[in-house]
Amino acid sequence: MVIIGAIVSWRLIRVDHGPSSEVELIEAPTHSFKTATLPFTTPLPATTTTHVNNEIDEIKKEYQEVAYSLAQKIDKSDLEVTLLNDWASKLNREEFLQKLPTEIREGYENLEKIILKVRDRHLKEDGMTESFFTKYKIEMPEWLQKRRQELEAYSLPSDVAAVVSTKASENEITDNDVANILRGCGKQNNNCIEKAFALLIDANHALNNDQLKKIQEYL
Amino acid sequence: MKFMTMFAFCLFLFGCKTSIDTRLTILETGAFVVRTAEDGILSVPKAEMAADLVIDGKKPEKSYITLHLRKGTKKYRPEIPVRLPKLDVLLGSNDPIRLDAKELGQDFGIMLMREIRPGKDLFTMTFHDSEFNSTIGKMVFEYEPSKVLFDAKKNEFLASYQAVKRKQRAAVIRINGDVDSMLALPKKFGWVEETLDHIVNYGGMVLISPWAYARYANVSWIMGDDNKSTEQTDEKWKTVAKEYPVIDYFAFVHSGDQRIYSNGTSERMTMETIGLKKNQLRLVYTGACSSGSGTEWLKGYASAGAGGQRGTSASPIFQFSVLKKWVYGFNFEDTVVKTWTSAVRKVRAVEWISFAKFWEDKTGVLMWRNVDDMLHDSEILISYTKELPASNLRINQSAVLKNVATDENIVERAVNEIIAERNGELLVEE
């Protein structure tokens, strides 16, 4: 029974280990191990401060040369700095670069190449790797999406709708506002209660724990 | 029926364990020294190896990593015990999770990043020294976390809906000056000064971007002249306030430019004119000179925390580090303490004369008499309310919803004061 229990109680999620799944453990020397391939930033090598400073100085020097060269190109062109700031802050990288004449675009691309080196230095300093740079994404669980869609089909009573509409634009939802909406909807009128407060959440209001508890009592 | 009973009994007896096959890469021999389940010490060799991440469903603190090693011709499977959070918390989070050595019960720290993909998500677990100063190794695996993060049966639609919506956070990043000292440009070409300012600002944006987008669903940039001339600043703030429930604000600017004025320079915008809700602005940090502890953000815009500089500040040396450490998951207090400690170490390591020369080249003027003078003027000051101390404020957290920013309720602290307290130094009562 114990054996069966052990088998059924383990949910194994299998991914192939691939070749060379075992590494030999020996005390010394270490050169016999397979050299690891490192597709990401390696940690700071054991170098001296002078070595690091020289490396930083090199990057700075390269950066300054590229920056001055780009500045001269921009200055000779008809491009206004205010417009460049505006484009750079509004558009994504590709859209921004597409707006520029070839020679100036190349200047920006050269600048970015050096900034990548600066970025790598920062990652090394922080003991971090590029894998940290995963784009942040949010998933709304399916049941929440479904419930929110159901509520779309429901129409709030006019008095509650009026309160919600006014409060949505104000900067705070007070306990009195919560009580007012609950009274307007009535006990166990879940569609009304959930739609009214979902609309306020959509307007970036946040309900505190006491308010959520009070609402829960009405559902 | 008999089988079902037996199954339930076994489940009760053993709990439910999830074993995930992974590959572990160790970068340096001697860097990954771990405590094994048998209380032995093991130095894991530099190599790429198979490993199993076993998460105990019943007692996640009893989870472990099994390494596939061999001693001579014999298989060797040491278990490295690690105290992990629950499976759904660990592998269901949208945010990177950082686990300190203390929490893990080992002498290393872990950071776990999740890349959401169709089907199985890709996870990268990086291993660090206990201070998170260097990377020791990394482990990559695929896993499909449970889709349902909340229990629908509990009828908690509103609480769950709010929780997910509030993860849709945004950052407003304002740049007008040297974000980072490595990107500073000497002021020796006056004739292209305005263009060079633009290049410095653009470079700052390119440098910051990967860190910012790793933790914010949206980043709104305000650059250079945009600070002073157009209505776009107003519009950007209004758009962010309308679309995102949680907003952090970082301003790498000169003194005064961190403030939000309508039409660039006229009246200062209020919560009402921006359209900010009471709980919406969460953290404000600026490297602007003489910005102080930022209580104006708590009082005027109901932010949960704020930080700035004591006086004429050498902010490019450390201000980017505040943003980095914050997005790595350190709480706000640790963020400024670690940033400051490292900045002081760096500044003291550089000879004052060469630093002074660098600064004069950069700005055309040197504002400090010596290194102590500079560190005093550049000190980071922070403020927060008693409801949410800076040590509890983190990037993946909602702002406190019932904070009261009155004079009695606001706490202001200088970073050196926090460090002295942590070191157990005696302080003189003011």
- Tens digits of per-residue pLDDT, A26-82? 543 332 222 223 333 333 344 455 666 778 888 888 999 999 999 999 999 989 888
Beta bridge partners of B128: B109, B135
What 8-state DSSP symbol labels residue A14?
-
- Crossing angle of helices B319-327 and A102-126, rounded to 10°: 70
Q: Which ipTM did the prediction report?
A: 0.83
Determine whether the interchain pair B216/A148 forms a contact, defined as Cβ–Cβ distance below 8 Å.
no
| Interatomic CA distance for residues B395 and B88, integer angstroms | 19
Q: Is B417 exposed, middle or buried (0-12, 13-18, 19+ CB in 10 A)?
A: middle
Q: Which is nearest to A135 in space by CA: B142, B218, B120, B140?
A: B218
- State the best of B112, B135, B173 to mutate against chain A, taking most chain A CBs within 10 Å: B135
Half-sphere exposure of B236 (CA within 13 A, CB side): 26
Minimal Cα–Cα distance from A14 to chain B, Å? 6
- Chain A contacts of B302, Cβ < 8 Å? 171
Determine whether the interchain pair B50/A17 forms a contact, defined as Cβ–Cβ distance below 8 Å.
yes
Tokens 């639609």 belong to B157
CA B96: distance to chain centroid? 10
Q: What DSSP line would sit under B384-404, residue for residue?
A: EETTS-GGG--TTSPPPTT--
Instruction: Name the closest residue on chain B to residue A111, using Cα atoms.
Output: B203
Q: Average pLDDT for residues A190-198, to the nearest whole number?
A: 96
Determine whether the interchain pair A85/B213 forms a contact, defined as Cβ–Cβ distance below 8 Å.
no
Backbone angles phi, psi at A82, to 5 degrees: -60, -40
State the Rg of chain A over Cα. Answer: 30
Determine whether the interchain pair A21/B50 forms a contact, defined as Cβ–Cβ distance below 8 Å.
yes
Determine whether the interchain pair B192/A11 forms a contact, defined as Cβ–Cβ distance below 8 Å.
no
Tokens 């707006």 belong to A99
- Chain A contacts of B208, Cβ < 8 Å? none
Report the pLDDT value the prediction gives residue A104, as an integer from 0 to 100: 95
- Is a pLDDT exceeding 90 seen at residue A114? yes
Minimal Cα–Cα distance from A67 to chain B, Å? 7
- Partner-chain residue, chosen from B160, B182, B232, that has the shortest CB–CB distance to A59: B182
CA B300: distance to chain centroid? 25
Compute the mean pLDDT over every residue in chain A, rounded to the nearest whole number. Answer: 80
Determine whether the interchain pair B277/A205 forms a contact, defined as Cβ–Cβ distance below 8 Å.
yes
Do the beta carbons of residue A164 and residue A127 sit within 8 Å?
no
Pull the structure tokens for residue A113. 């190449």
Do the beta carbons of residue B340 and residue B319 sit within 8 Å?
no
What 8-state DSSP symbol labels residue A41?
P
Determine whether the interchain pair B226/A85 forms a contact, defined as Cβ–Cβ distance below 8 Å.
yes
| Interatomic CA distance for residues B412 and B417, integer angstroms | 10
For the entire predicted model, the pTM comes to 0.84
| Interatomic CA distance for residues A45 and A48, integer angstroms | 9
- Is a pLDDT exceeding 60 seen at residue A7? no
Do the beta carbons of residue B284 and residue B294 sit within 8 Å?
yes
Determine whether the interchain pair B225/A85 forms a contact, defined as Cβ–Cβ distance below 8 Å.
yes
Instruction: Name the closest residue on chain B to residue A23, using Cα atoms.
Output: B69
Q: Which is nearest to B143 in space by CA: B52, B210, B80?
A: B52
Report the pLDDT value the prediction gives residue A29, as an integer from 0 to 100: 33
Q: Which is nearest to A135 in space by CA: A99, A92, A86, A88?
A: A92
- Quick check: helix, strand or coil at residue B164? helix
Do the beta carbons of residue B121 and residue B114 sit within 8 Å?
yes
How many helices and strands in chain B, by DSSP H and E?
Answer: 13, 19
- Chain A contacts of B20, Cβ < 8 Å? 13, 15
Report the pLDDT value the prediction gives residue B430, as an integer from 0 to 100: 62
- Partner-chain residue, chosen from A22, A72, A85, that has the shortest CB–CB distance to B75: A22
Minimal Cα–Cα distance from A179 to chain B, Å? 16
- Partner-chain residue, chosen from A4, A72, A172, that has the shortest CB–CB distance to B10: A4
Do the beta carbons of residue A81 and residue B194 sit within 8 Å?
yes
- State the best of B183, B242, B323, B362 to mutate against chain A, taking most chain A CBs within 10 Å: B183
State the Rg of chain B over Cα. Answer: 25
Residue A1 pLDDT grade (very low, low, confident, very high; cuts 50, 70, 90): very low
The tens digit of pLDDT for each residue in A135-185 reads 888 888 888 999 999 999 999 999 999 999 999 999 899 999 999 999 999
Cα–Cα distance list, B234 to A87, B175, B229, B237 (Å): 17, 15, 11, 5
List the Cα angle B350/B354/B355 in 5-degree steps. 65
Where is B358: in which H helix or E strand? Answer: helix B352-363
Helix ranges, B15-138 (H) = 87-92, 101-104
- Chain A contacts of B25, Cβ < 8 Å? 36, 38
Determine whether the interchain pair B19/A10 forms a contact, defined as Cβ–Cβ distance below 8 Å.
yes
Determine whether the interchain pair B48/A144 forms a contact, defined as Cβ–Cβ distance below 8 Å.
no
* CA torsion angle B227 B231 B233 B237 (round to 10): 160
Q: What DSSP line would sit under B210-251, residue for residue?
A: HHHHHH-SEEEEEEGGGGTS-SHHHHHHHHHHHH-SSEEEEE
- Chain A contacts of B49, Cβ < 8 Å? 21-23
Instruction: Name the closest residue on chain B to residue A205, using Cα atoms.
Output: B277
| Interatomic CA distance for residues A198 and A194, integer angstroms | 6
| Interatomic CA distance for residues A138 and B129, integer angstroms | 30
Beta bridge partners of B54: B19, B64
| Interatomic CA distance for residues B39 and A93, integer angstroms | 52
pLDDT by 10s per residue, chain B, length 430: 455 555 454 444 445 788 999 999 998 888 889 999 887 899 998 999 999 999 987 888 889 999 999 888 889 999 999 999 988 888 888 788 889 999 899 999 999 998 877 778 899 999 999 888 888 999 999 998 765 444 555 568 999 999 899 999 999 999 998 889 888 887 666 667 789 989 999 999 999 999 999 999 999 999 876 545 555 788 889 999 999 999 999 999 989 889 988 766 678 889 999 999 998 999 999 999 999 999 999 999 999 999 999 999 999 999 999 999 999 999 999 999 999 999 999 888 877 777 777 777 777 777 888 889 999 999 999 999 998 999 999 998 887 777 788 889 999 999 999 999 999 887 776 6
Minimal Cα–Cα distance from B430 to chain A, Å? 36
Minimal Cα–Cα distance from B389 to chain A, Å? 18
- Chain B contacts of A204, Cβ < 8 Å? 241-242, 244-245, 277, 280
